[in-house]
Amino acid sequence: MKKIASIILTGVLITGILTGCDLSSAKSDDQILKVAIDLKYPPFMYVDDKGDPAGLEVDLAYALGEYMGQEVEIVNTDFSMLIPSLETGESDIVISDMTVNDERKQKVDFSEGYRYGRTLALVNKEFYENNNISDDMSVEDFFKLDGIKSIGLSGTISVSVPQKYGVDVTEITEIASGIMEVTSGNYNVLVGANTVIGDHAANKETTEIYSGIPEYFTSAFAVKKGNTELLEKANEFIATLYEKGGLYEQLASKYNDEVGEFLKDKSLGLEYIVNKPE
């Protein structure tokens, strides 16, 4: 079993069991790349039935270690503790679908993007049809529609994006209630990320998707502020992912079906989440 470490909310590092090792054979810290990942999000980051870390981010972590010639230790870390783990030295790098934003940039250095999320709107079907909405409609015209009522999850793009275009948003704390409000017609717009595709698939009778919103968000590796050497290596590695015959191309057969199932659209695969939206 691979070694897994876990950081609980107090920030205490709990190391996994080392099988077949003793202190005399342990590798020095500079030979081990400690990668913080929140292993609660299958199929991208999770612990499999054998107790081993698994998923896309885990595959990337081990591939980065191989690229750098270092052994990898996966540090299972709650999302809220990912950045603190860099600051305390409990991890060297975060590979956990962390999106880049200005607040986080104050605390860590980000690599180039390795995953991307689109901004989509779940729209009440009656409102969609009555206003002749299509993806050809400009985002400005969409958010200026008479009678638009937007609902969104506090602290997320489902609030900030409509507000950017001058729309008042009713804020909620549970996304499920927002979906229910749109399907019932009490509200007619819920902005979200790639998972909106699945929300629509589960409610095709009452919803449509508007995908004309240009905003997208970037997920990147994160390192401690000033760790330029590791950041440069990470960027070099990420560039290789997109090369012909690179790791993303190799992993497509492994993850295409899982991504399609996750998004509830079998026509979508790994390429959809790793390529920058045009």
The pair of three-digit structure tokens given for residue 238, joined into one six-digit string: 């990420």
Contact 33, 73 (CB under 8 A): yes
User: Per the CATH hierarchy, to which homologous superfamily does domain 32-116+218-274 belong?
Assistant: Periplasmic binding protein-like II (3.40.190.10)
Q: To the nearest whole number, what is the mean pLDDT of the chain?
A: 90
Given 3.40.190.10, 3.60.15.10, 1.10.287.610, 3.30.230.10, which CATH number is that of 120-210? 3.40.190.10
- The residue ranges of every structural domain in the chain are 32-116+218-274, 120-210
The pair of three-digit structure tokens given for residue 48, joined into one six-digit string: 């499999």
Lowest mean pLDDT among 2-11, 111-120, 140-149: 2-11
Do 32-116+218-274 and 120-210 agree at the fold level?
Answer: yes
Residue 3: C-alpha distances to residues 9, 51, 96 (Å): 20, 10, 18
Q: 5: pLDDT confidence band, cut at 50, 70 and 90?
A: low
The pair of three-digit structure tokens given for residue 68, joined into one six-digit string: 């750098």
Which of 216, 153, 146 has its CA nearest to residue 188? Answer: 146
Q: What is the mean pLDDT of residues 240-266?
A: 95
CB proximity list for 175: less than 8 A, separation 6 or greater = 153, 158, 192
Q: What is the mean pLDDT of residues 244-264?
A: 95
What is the structure's pLDDT at 31? 84
CB atoms within 10 A of CB 171: 14
Q: What is the mean pLDDT of residues 30-53?
A: 94
